[in-house]
Structure 1
């Protein structure tokens, strides 16, 4: 498992989110989990790829997050693999997010799932979907940036 620069233990990342969406803003949210789900997260048995967040009333839920069953759990003590999980944010944050999502037609996409101080946290990105040609432009820009970095590094080595 990877660690962030501040010591958080990263369990999973959604790498496709940065390609498919133009991320405008990010939020850190707690997530309500059952015991066997936390144990599965510690084993990094989770997929963020098809997950998204949606408002239901005044609450925010994460839909489509797949957490595999805990390997040492009994059959009857497990959890549902893909259930809606409530995200924990302050009320003023929820109100701000809901207003922006409704006004600007944005999407809430999970970017990463990690442990911070022993608690599971979700980095939630607010973004706008990219069209197919936008994705190609983003990939081309990333490739040209990498080429420029390589050229500068090679130049420094020559000196």
Structure 2
């Protein structure tokens, strides 16, 4: 008996994208990290019940932790497990990557943030980024440039 071929979703496999990160930070470099999750968290991620807005990556004791990511438990989650939506989740990275992140974040003005959660096969991955904070005038300039590009596309399309 042959296995039935399962067709996955076409297109983007993103679960959630931290749009505020690109607005508030200059992204220097991105890394892919695995996540250590409980069963109820995976079920909630399948439903898209997650927020990355105020999350960041904390590097301590040679490990990386995702802090502030809110995964809302489903109402059908198991009753014998206490579901903490804001618990710290361990990020799984190679030692080389951890060393690089640690050395870069020691520099003034650099930080490490979570930018995206996505599926890679049957695994959930977290895209983290080395970033520098933007000043207020940088944010205004980026907004002005984005609006100009939209207007330029509109004019090109019309005529």
> So what's the TM-score if we normalise by structure 1?
0.88
Alignment partners' CA distance in 2, 1:147 and 1:117: 38
- The runs of 4+ residues in structure 1 deviating greater than 4 Å are none
What RMSD in Å do the two structures reach over aligned CA positions?
Answer: 1.6
Deviates more, 1:65-74 or 1:82-91: 65-74
Q: Equivalent residues in 2 for 1:120-131 (5 A)?
A: 120-131=124-135
Residue ranges of structure 2 left out of the alignment (5+ in a row)? 1-8
For structure 1, the residue ranges without an aligned partner over 5 or more in a row are: none
Identify the residue that residue 113 of structure 1 maps to in structure 2: 117
Deviations 1:68-96 (A, max 9, x none): 01231233324211011110011111111
Correspondence for 1:64: 68
Alignment partner of 1:17 out of 17, 21, 26: 21
How far does residue 2 in structure 1 lie from its aligned partner after superposition? 8.7
Map of 1:144 onto structure 2: 148
1:30 aligns to 2:34 (yes or no): yes
**1: distance between equivalents of 2:92 and 2:49?**
22
Q: CA deviation at 1:103?
A: 2.6
Q: Does 1:92 align with 2:96?
A: yes
Count of aligned pairs between the two proteins? 151
